[in-house]
Amino acid sequence: MASLTAGNRRPVRLADIAKAAGVSHGTASNVFSRPEIVREEVRERVKAAAEAMGYGGPDPKGRLLRAGKVNAIGVATAEPLSYFFDDPFARVMMASISQACDATGAGISLVSAANNEQLAWNIQSALVDGFIVFCVEGGSRLVELARERKLPFVALDLDSEDGAVAAIGVDNIAGASLAARHLTDLGHRRFAVLALPFADGRTGLVSPEQVRSATYAGTRDRLTGYLQELSRVGVDTSKVPVYETANDAASAKAGLETIFAAKEPPTAILAMSDKIALVTLEWLSARKLNVPNDVSIVGFDGVPESAVSEPSLTTIAQPIAEMGRLAVKAILENDGKVSRQLLPVELIVRASSAPPRG
Provide DSSP, 303-326.
-THHHHSSSPPEEEE--HHHHHHH
> Least Å distance between CB 192 and a second copy?
26
Q: Which CB atom, from 5 or from 238, has the smaller least distance to a second copy?
A: 5
Which 131-160 residues touch DNA, going by CB under 7 A? none
Does position 73 interact with DNA (CB under 7 A)? The reply is: no
86 binds, among DNA, a second copy, none (CB under 5 to 8 A by kind): a second copy
Distances in Å between the Cα of 35 and the Cα atoms of 12, 18, 351 are 20, 14, 61
Does position 65 interact with DNA (CB under 7 A)? The reply is: yes
Q: Tell the burial category of 74 from Cβ atoms under 10 Å away from its Cβ (0-12, 13-18, 19+).
A: buried
Q: Which CB atom, from 32 or from 84, has the smaller least distance to DNA?
A: 32
> Least Å distance between CB 182 and a second copy?
29
Kindly tell me which residue out of 42, 53, 246, 307 binds DNA, with binding defined by CB under 7 A: 42
Q: Which residues contact 62 (CB under 8 A, 6 or more apart)?
A: 14
Helices 320-332 and 88-104 pack at an angle, to 10 degrees, of 40
Q: Which CB atom, from 68 or from 234, has the smaller least distance to DNA?
A: 68
Q: Which residues contact 160 (CB under 8 A, 6 or more apart)?
A: 139, 140, 143, 167, 217
Does position 14 interact with DNA (CB under 7 A)? The reply is: yes
φ/ψ (deg, to 5) at 28: -55, -40
Using CA atoms, how far apart are residues 323 and 124, in angstroms rounded to an integer?
A: 25
Name the DSSP class of 35. Answer: G
**Cα pseudo-dihedral 73, 79, 83, 89, rounded to 10:** -80
The footprint of a second copy (CB under 8 A) covers 5, 8, 10, 54-57, 60-65, 68, 70-72, 80-82, 84-86, 91-92, 94-96, 98-99, 101-103, 105, 107-114, 118, 121-122, 124-127, 148-151, 336
Query: How many residues lie near DNA (CB under 7 A)?
Result: 29
Does position 89 interact with DNA (CB under 7 A)? The reply is: no
> Least Å distance between CB 322 and a second copy?
15
Can you give the C-alpha Rg of the chain in angstroms? Answer: 27
Q: Which CB atom, from 94 or from 178, has the smaller least distance to a second copy?
A: 94
For residue 339, the tally of other CB atoms under 10 A from its CB is: 11
Kindly tell me which residue out of 29, 203, 245, 306 binds DNA, with binding defined by CB under 7 A: 29
Using CA atoms, how far apart are residues 166 and 323, in angstroms rounded to an integer?
A: 13
Q: Which CB atom, from 14 or from 354, has the smaller least distance to DNA?
A: 14
Which range, of 36-44, 79-87, 135-143, 276-284, touches DNA by CB under 7 A?
Answer: 36-44
Whether 140 and 122 have beta carbons less than 8 Å apart is answered as no
> Least Å distance between CB 148 and a second copy?
6
Kindly tell me which residue out of 2, 61, 163, 236 binds DNA, with binding defined by CB under 7 A: 61
Using CA atoms, how far apart are residues 121 and 238, in angstroms rounded to an integer?
A: 45
Q: Which CB atom, from 90 or from 276, has the smaller least distance to a second copy?
A: 90
Applying CB under 7 A, the residues found at the interface with DNA are 11, 13-15, 22-27, 29-30, 32-33, 37-39, 41-42, 57-59, 61-63, 65-68
